[in-house]
Amino acid sequence: MQIRLPGQVGTIITTLENAGFEAYAVGGCVRDSLLGREPEDWDITTNAKPAEVKSLFRRTIDTGIQHGTVTVMFGKNGYEVTTYRVDGEYEDGRHPKKVEFTGSLREDLCRRDFTINAMAYRPQDGLVDCFGGALDLKERRIRCVGDAAERFGEDALRMMRAVRFSAQLSFTIEEKTLDAVRALADSLRKVSAERIQAEFVKLLCSPNPDRAALFYETGLSAVFLPEFDDCMRTMQNHPHHCYSVGEHLLHAVKAVRADRTLRLAMFFHDFGKPRVKQTDENGIDHFHGHAAIGEKMTEQIMRRLKFDTDTIRKVCWLVRSHDLKIEPEKRAMRRAMAAAGMELFPELFEVKAADISAQSDYLREEKYEELARLRAVYEEVVRGGDCVCVKDLAVTGRDLIGLGIPAGPGLGAALKKLLALVVEEPAYNKKEILMTEAERIWKEEQSACPDKEEEKEPNS
Ligand code: ATP
Ligand code: MG
C-alpha cells in the first residue's frame, strides 16, 4: 500500500532517519490517505526525544513538550512530531496525566483509540497496521484498539469520538465497541465540557449529523445534553409534523448547509418544545412560545458547553427567530431587520428552509413559496440600500450633539426614533429632514421633563 506523503512530511521523516531515528506518519493522516480523503494535518511519530527533534530542525514550537510533542515549522506549515509514548489514565483535560516514552512503535500505536487511527506509514516499509485497521477501514467500522471497555475507562471522551467518526466517515460502530459505549456512557461525566464540545461540533458539521441519534441511544446525551433526550421523547401530533421533536431536529440539521452556526441553530431550534407542549381537546399538540424558551435554553446549554459568546449570540438569534412571521413586503422586512440588530437574514432563510423540509409534506410547496417571496423582498431591500440600522442614518450622533443634544442615553434614544421613522419611510433618510426631526424630538423630550432644566438653573 502506497501513500503519497507531502514533501515536507517526507523531509521530516528523512531528517530524523538520517540522524539515526525512526519516524512515521501516523493516525488521522494515514487513515484519511487510505480513504482517499485529503488529511487535515499530518502527524509524525518518532523514537527521537523532544530535545533531539528540536536539535534537528531550524524552527520548532514546544506545543506539548511534557507529552512529547514538538511542532516543526516550514514557513506557515506546522507538523506535530511526537515521541513514541504509552499513556497513563487521562485527566479532565486534553492530555493524559502522565506519559512515558517508549522505544516501541507498536506500544505507541497501542495507546491510540481506534484501529483505523492506529496505523503508521513510512515509505521504506509501507503501512504498519498491528490491529487490523486497514480491514476495518475496508469494512467501514469503528473498533477500539484492544478491549473497548478498558479503553473507554482510560478516556471517556473516546465514546464521543466513536460516534463522531461514525458520522464523519459513514462507518458503523462495531458491536462490542458500541456495547461498551452503552455500558460506560455515564462516565462521560468525567470529561471536560471543552473536549465534549469539540466532538459534538465535528459531528454536527459532518455528512451525517443525524447520527446524533446515537448520543441518545447510547446514553451519552443523558450526560452532556439531557434536553435533547427530552426532545427525542416528545411526540408531535400535528398536521405540520410527522416526527418526534428530536427526529425533526435531526432531519433539519441534515438539511442545512454544513456551517457551524447553522448546524448548531438547526439542532437547537425546537429545544423549547418539550417544555411548552399542550394537547388540545382534539388531541392536537401545540407548542406556543417554544422559540423564546428555546432561545433561553440554547444560551444556557451553549454556555455550559463553553461556546464562545459570538457563536452563542448568533445561534440564539436564529433559534429565537426561526418561526418569525414577516409579511412579504418591504416595510415589514425593514422593521424586522431593524429590530434584529444583526445581519443574519440570509442564514435565517436557510434555517426556515431546512425547518420546512423536516416537517410533514402538508402545505410544503406553499411554505417554500412564501419563503421565496420573503427572500425576494429581503433582496430588494438590500439592493435598494434602505437604511435599517443607526449607522446607515444620514445623520450621526455628532450631528445631533451639534444641535445641543447631550451625549448619553437621550442621544441614543433620539437616534433610535430617527431610525424608526426612516424604516417606515426611506425617503426621510436625508440630513436636513432628520436634523429638523431631531430638533423636534429633543424639544418634545425637554418639555416632557421640564424638571431637568430646573435642576440646571435652580435660581431662575
Ligand atoms: P481529526 O483530526 O479529523 O479530528 P484525527 O484522527 O487526526 O482526526 P486527532 O484528535 O487529531 O484526530 O488525533 C490524532 C491521533 O491521535 C488520532 O488519530 C489517534 O491516533 C490519536 N488520538 C487522539 N485522541 C485520542 C484519544 N482521546 N485517545 C486515544 N488516541 C487518541
Ligand atoms: Mg488530526
pLDDT in tens, 88-111: 666 654 566 678 999 999 999 999
Task: Report the atom number in ligand 1 closest to the C-alpha of 158.
Answer: 27
Q: For the chain, give the percent of residues with pLDDT over 90.
A: 86
The count of C-alpha atoms lying within 13 angstroms of the C-alpha of 14, restricted to the half-sphere facing its C-beta, is 8
| Residue 432 binned pLDDT confidence (cut-offs 50, 70, 90) | very high
Which has more pLDDT, 460 or 252?
252
| Residue 455 binned pLDDT confidence (cut-offs 50, 70, 90) | very low
Q: What is the pLDDT of residues 382-400, one digit of tens each?
A: 999 999 999 999 999 999 9
Kind of pairing between the strands at 141-142 and 172-173: parallel
Ligand 1 mean position, distance from CA 164 (Å): 11
Is the separation of the CB atoms in 291 and 321 below 8 Å?
yes
Task: Calculate mean pLDDT across residues 195-203.
Answer: 98
CA 441 → CA 165, 392, 413, 429, distances in Å? Answer: 60, 19, 10, 16
Ligand 1 mean position, distance from CA 263 (Å): 23
Neighbours of ion ligand 2 (CB under 5 A): 28
Task: Report the atom number in ligand 1 closest to the C-alpha of 161.
Answer: 27
Find all residues with CB under 8 Å of 263, minimum gap 6, and list them. 204, 205, 209, 253, 256
- Looking at the CA of 199, which ligand is closest? 1
For ligand 1, mutation pick of 117, 129, 181, 188 (most atoms within 8 Å of CB): 117
Dihedral sign of CA atoms 139, 145, 151, 155 in order: negative
What are the cell numbers at 337?
431587520
| SS3 at position 413 | helix
